[in-house]
Chain A
Amino acid sequence: MSATVSSSTEARRQVEKWAQWLRQYPNVTVTVEGHCDERGTREYNLGLGERRAASAKRFLTSLGIDARRVATISYGKERPAVVGSNDAAWSQNRRGVMVVN
């Protein structure tokens, strides 16, 4: 399973859904991926993706999910969801993704 979040209010709703799902399947562990758009430099974006993933993880744990079930990884700008150098694509590429381990 994998799910994606991008903008912040939508992100909160999505992370709440992830939390719900994680409560339903208490034995699975997941990895939250942090991704960025191509309009930043590579190394800084790695840091930014990490910040994004960690913030989703913090929100999950604030919703009662055991932190040990949630790993994080940053891909910076290395794994865009969609191609294209335009605002719509960049907005979709700034995202958190939850992947079941």
Chain B
Amino acid sequence: MRAVTKIVAVRTYVATLALILVCGFLPRPAGAELRIDITRGRIEPMPIALSQLSGLQPQESQIGQDMTGVISADLERSGLFRPIDPRAFIQTPAALRSQPPRFADWRAINAQALVHGNVELQRDGRLRVEFRLWDVFGESQMEGRIYTAAPQTWRRVSHIIADAIYKRVTGEDGYFDTRVVYISESGPQQRRIKRLAIMDQDGANHRFLTDGRNLMLTPRFSPSLQEITYLAYVNNRPRVYLRNIDTGQEEVLGDFPGMTFAPRFSPDGNKVVMSLAEDGNSEIYTMDLRTRAVQRLTNHPAIDTSPSYSPDGKQIVFNSDRGGSQQLYVMDANGDNVRRITFAQGRYATPVWSPRGDLIAFTKITEGDFYIGVMRPDGKDERLLANGFVVESPTWAPNGRVIMFFRQGRSDSRGQGGNSRLYSIDLTGYNEREIITPVDASDPAWSPLIP
């Protein structure tokens, strides 16, 4: 048996990436600086001008154009920025290469922020990208960085730049340089083909990880990023599996007498917490990936499932029908001190602790409708963010500000209309966006920020 945590796979598309901060050449004036407060409810998106990253050679120019498109789309989808149509720009990318921004030109089109920069293919074959972010009204540089990377990683560099802009303007970490693993669905409902798929958070670099022969459900990322855990039906045995994303190496986790399901990693990546069903009773267990030691956490004839660790690893939230209906409970990580946190009407399910620790996202089923919501870890201050015939499987962006989930429609008697798609929504309840996938999709899991 291999030691899962010891594996160091070489990421196929990630090259080393060097970063240099660029010093501003204008002093920052005193006074309020450009800032978006994302904790507020509805926010008017900030108008931002993204001047095409400029290149001297046609190939560099093309990369600059593609990168600007990715950065612009990231910022736009966040709902916090409104990229201005470049046809309105007065100062050209070429002019920005040799001169400082002409702020009056950018104010004239109501840009509050300006991004520009240069792309160069160096003699050593590496890509060098420089960008600057300006506060147009304050006439000051807010951010300036240089990255060198392998040219084929231009998309990642674009997401990293978008994250840098997001962080500088909001004060919060970004989430654009991330991936999503999910279940791709096709075929009729009675014989649905469900396979693992992975993509960048913007839907790019999509690839299937499995061929669909085995039914696969509920993938989740390890904090190490190279591994996922999920449920697979192999030879009619539903069991929790681990898979290295890059090598495709897969192994069943442990040797349990019954179905194991609902797996999630501990925040340190050393354990998987999951349910084991024996004689019809589902209980929560952990398995240590280094020692293979198994620990039973719950002991109740009810169905105990969907466990999720708090980010400090000290507590676990799960759902159980021990009180008669499906509700949320929190226990210490060793199984002690179980307490119920939901008491409202309806059933509660799929709790997921926010990476910031301040909230728990959940699915609620009440009066025939499904909702995605958030509450504090003590069950208070419930807020419902999205609803539908079926919405399920919330997953957090690593900054704890955006939630992704899937929504399945109602199907008619011929099986039409039951499509399932991925969506993201801000914690504020605004800015719901569909994440485009090649075919139907469910069970999304957001990766941590790529290191």
Contacts and interface: CB of A to CB of B under 8 A. Distances in A.
Residue among A38, A43, A44 with the highest chain B CB neighbour number at 10 A: A43
A40 B304 CA distance: 15
B259 A46 contact: yes
Interface of B: 188-192, 194, 215, 217-218, 231, 236-238, 258-259, 261-262, 275, 277, 279-282, 303-306, 319, 321, 326, 347, 349-350, 363, 365, 368, 389-390, 392-393, 408, 410-415, 418, 443
B280 A46 contact: no
Interface string A25-64: 0000001000000111111101110111111001000000
A85 B410 contact: yes
A50 B413 contact: no
Given A46-B262, A47-B303, A83-B189, A54 B279 contact: yes
Nearest to B362: A41
Nearest to B413: A84
A83 B306 contact: no
Contact of A83 (B304, B326, B418): B418
A51 B413 CA distance: 28
4 cross-chain pairs, A with B, having the tightest CB-CB distances, nearest first: A54-B280, A83-B415, A47-B303, A41-B349
Given A44-B306, A47-B275, A78-B215, A53 B188 contact: no
A56 B227 CA distance: 37
Interface in A76-95: 78-86, 89
B101 to A, nearest CB: 51
Contacts of B365: 39-41
A16 B192 CA distance: 31
A59 B414 CA distance: 35
A74 interface: yes
Contacts of B412: 84-85
B413 A89 contact: yes
Contact of A44 (B215, B279, B280, B326): B326
A47 to B, nearest CB: 4
Interface residues of A, number: 31
A73 interface: yes
A6 B304 CA distance: 24
Contacts of B191: 79
B91 to A, nearest CB: 53
Given A39-B368, A39-B390, A72-B280, 7 more contacts: A47-B277, A47-B303, A84-B412, A85-B410, A85-B412, A85-B418, A86-B413
Nearest to B302: A47
Contacts of A85: 389, 410-412, 418
Contacts of B305: 43-44, 46-47
Contacts of A46: 231, 238, 259, 261-262, 275, 277, 282, 305
23 contacts: A39-B390, A42-B217, A42-B392, A43-B349, A46-B231, A46-B277, A47-B261, A47-B277, A47-B282, A47-B303, A47-B304, A50-B282, A73-B238, A74-B277, A79-B190, A79-B191, A79-B192, A83-B188, A83-B413, A83-B414, A84-B412, A84-B415, A85-B412
